[in-house]
Amino acid sequence: MAHRANHAMRVAMHSSAGTVDVDGFTYEWELRREPQWSDIDGWKGMAIALLQKNMQRGALLEFPPPKRLLKGLQRGRLQINDAIIARGIRAALEAGWEPESRGKPMVFTVDAEGN
């Protein structure tokens, strides 16, 4: 049984979309950009799109590039989990994201932990 749970956890870490409940609301998230190199900006971190279920205005969380890439090391596995997504949602809400309003998605820069 433990092996199956461990496998499910590994699968969850590699998913590129999902839902998470935060403070009684359900949010959908989707990986929009993996860490990538830009000739203009250098390394850019991953970007996660957020949308509160049945609401219109989304948000985009921009993460810093992983330290290993800045050091010239190989690309590692993406570290995405519900806790990081939930922290990012709370950070965006505290910074002024209003999912029930209209308008273009708002962009928020967060740290590697989603804060």
pTM beyond 0.85: the answer is no
Does pLDDT of 5 surpass 60? no
> 25-55 pLDDT, tens per residue?
999 999 999 988 888 888 899 999 999 999 9
Q: Are the CB atoms for 35 and 46 separated by under 8 Å?
A: yes
pLDDT at 3: 40
- The predicted structure's pLDDT at residue 68: 74
Is residue 9's pLDDT more than 90? no
User: Is there a contact between 35 and 76 (Cβ–Cβ < 8 Å)?
Assistant: no
Cα angle: 75, vertex 77, 82; to 5 degrees: 140
Cα–Cα distance, 41 to 35 (Å, whole number): 12
Q: What is the pLDDT of residues 60-90, one digit of tens each?
A: 999 998 877 667 777 666 778 999 999 999 9
